[in-house]
Chains A and B, each alone.
Chain A
Amino acid sequence: MQNLINKFHEFLPSLIKGTQYTIEITVLGIILSTIFGFVFSQALLSKRKLINRPVRILINVVRGTPLLVQMFYVYFVLPDLGITLGALEAAVLSLSICYGAYHAEIFRAGIMSIPLGQWEAATSLGLKHHQILRRIVLPQAARIILPPLGTSCIILLKDSSLASVITVRELTRSGQLIASTTFENLTVYSMVALIYILLTQLLALLVHSMERKYRLK
């Protein structure tokens, strides 16, 4: 038992360092993918083909390829095109675009679920499109958007572990490095798993409290 506690103390600092990267990638990924998702959804809902077609194609490409391949693409292929990103930036960008595509569909479905009459009533009061979206449609759509968006963000958190493959020393990579030198696979990966559970639970709580805020009276 004492032995286990010692190992715990030995591995923890390095895992915490990795966790900080995981949190950084996840927070940036959630913010950017939500922004991308919203922007993409507006393009999808646009009646202009010149706007909705390219975004529809992008989303299909993203949904049709594994995130890991996208990450390789951003990290290894973009430099050939003159765009060189650090491993962390590449990880954040590929996660944001990938999840932006998923979030676009979530936003689109949520916005479309609001009856046309709501748009018409607000329009007849002289409100502009963006005012209707912000004050009438999104507050109501939030109820429908938040649960799947929350789930998606939790998966994003777990998928941030893919960044380990392009050398980002986030939580999974930190664990790997410790395990490969100490051979304490059971202890290390159990600790890694526990930290992920902690993080996902925290995120789930956050999502839940936001859902409560938008519940209808």
Chain B
Amino acid sequence: MIEIVNLHKYFGQTHVLKGVNLQVNKGDVVVVVGPSGSGKSTLLRCINRLEEVQEGEIRIGGENILSKTADVYRIRCEVGMVFQQFNLFPHMNALHNVTLGPTVTKKMPRRDAEALATELLRKVGLSGREHSFPSELSGGQQQRVAIARALAMEPAVMLFDEATSALDPELVGEVLSVMKQLALEGMTMIVVTHLMGFAREVANHVVFMDDGLIVEDGTPKGIFENPKTDRAAAFFSKIL
């Protein structure tokens, strides 16, 4: 469903992605792990074209999203993104945060969008908080609103960039359980996280990135228990 071929990304002179290849099938939950600076966030950001790519291909459902003629705005609707810092819109309540995308980019009638948003907020366990502003919500609640906001675009794939890293430990669980539920429903997900427990339990595909390359690619069991590279072995021995 998503096919990344020989992806290269430079920030000026800095070569950050050095030929990444990745195949993601429909319904896959891919966990991306790797040391800081290895290019995990950059990879995710390329998939919804938040970053310009210098070389390579990213295919979503057969369409090369990097081609000059690709409609970048439509592609972004296909790809939901959840950020480490939530990035909710602080001047809008939870409901309005969720309805913004559908009403503005998909021209969905307000009433339909509100029905959808109410349903999605219920799904992430926030019924009754529709009219709360982000500043009135805990970090975990904010991140769940952010997930609902991304789901409102009815994306084909969801990207999570360290979605729980900014949360107090006791709030991590509520966000993880929403992610787990999404995975069970068959959502295609690419998840950058340091939580190996989540990877073992939910992922069916794990990749280990190092210095701009995917150096290990396999099942959670295979990768955690029998890493092929020393670099991955060293990383897991620290983190597990």
Which among B85, B89, B135 has the greatest number of chain A C-beta atoms within 10 A?
Answer: B89
A95-138: which have CB < 8 Å to B? 115, 117-118, 120-128, 131, 135-136
CB within 8 Å for A118 and B89 given contacts A123-B50, A126-B76: yes
Of A117, A125, A128, A217, which contacts B85 at CB under 8 A? Answer: A117
Q: Is A5 interfacial (CB 8 A cutoff)?
A: no
Chain B contacts for A131, CB-based, 8 A: 104
Q: Interface extent on B, as a size class? A: 20 to 34
Which residues of chain B from 114 to 136 have a CB within 8 Å of any chain A CB? 133, 135-136
Chain A residues near B90 (CB-CB < 8 A): 140, 216
Query: Which residues of B in the span 87-111 have a Cβ within 8 Å of any Cβ on A?
Result: 87-91, 100-101, 104-106
Q: Which residues of B contact A128 (CB under 8 A)?
A: 73
Return the chain A residue nearest B133 by Cβ.
A217
Q: Which residues of B contact A125 (CB under 8 A)?
A: 76-77, 100-101, 104-105, 149-150, 153
A124 to B159, CA, bound (A): 11
**Min CB–CB distance A213 → chain B (angstroms):** 11
Tell me if A121 and B89 are in contact (CB < 8 A). Answer: yes
Interface centre among B79, B80, B101, B106 (most CB of A within 10 A): B101
A interface SS class: helix
Interface assignment of A139: CB less than 8 Å from any CB of chain B: yes
| In contact, B83 and A216 (Cβ under 8 angstroms) | no
Q: State whether B87 touches A118 (Cβ < 8 A).
A: yes
Pairwise interchain contact A136-B135, C-beta atoms closer than 8 A:
no
Q: Which of B91, B146, B150 contacts A140 (CB 8 A)?
A: B91
**Known A-B contacts A117-B83, A117-B85, A217-B133; A126 and B77 likewise in contact (beta carbons under 8 Å):** yes
B74 close to A (CB within 8 Å): yes
- B85 CB to closest chain A CB (Å) equals 5
For B175, the chain A residues whose CB sits under 8 A away are none
- For A135, the chain B residues whose CB sits under 8 A away are 100, 104
Complex: A121 Cα to B105 Cα, angstroms: 13
User: Roughly how many angstroms separate A125 CA and B77 CA in the complex, as a whole number?
Assistant: 6
- Residues on A with C-beta less than 8 A from B88 are 121
Q: Which residues of B contact A115 (CB under 8 A)?
A: 87
Q: Does B81 contact A (CB under 8 A)?
A: yes
Residues of B within 8 A of A117 (CB): 83, 85, 87
B141 interface residue, CB < 8 Å from A?
A: no
Q: Does B48 contact A (CB under 8 A)?
A: yes
**1/0 contact trace for A145-167 toward B, CB 8 Å?**
00000000000000000000000
Q: Mark A166-188, 1 if CB is under 8 A from B, else 0.
A: 00000000000000000000000
Q: Beyond A124-B150, A125-B76, is A136–B89 a contact (Cβ under 8 Å)? A: yes
Binding site for B on A (CB under 8 A): 115, 117-118, 120-128, 131, 135-136, 139-140, 216-217
- Chain B residues packing against A (C-beta within 8 Å): 48, 50, 73-74, 76-77, 79-81, 83, 85, 87-91, 100-101, 104-106, 133, 135-136, 146, 149-150, 153
In the complex, the 9 A-B pairs of residues with the closest C-beta atoms, listed nearest first: A125-B101, A121-B87, A126-B105, A117-B87, A124-B81, A126-B77, A126-B76, A217-B133, A126-B73
List 16 extra interface pairs beyond A124-B150, A125-B101, A125-B105, CB under 8 A: A117-B87, A118-B89, A120-B50, A120-B83, A124-B50, A124-B81, A125-B77, A125-B104, A125-B153, A126-B153, A127-B100, A140-B91, A216-B90, A216-B91, A217-B135, A217-B136
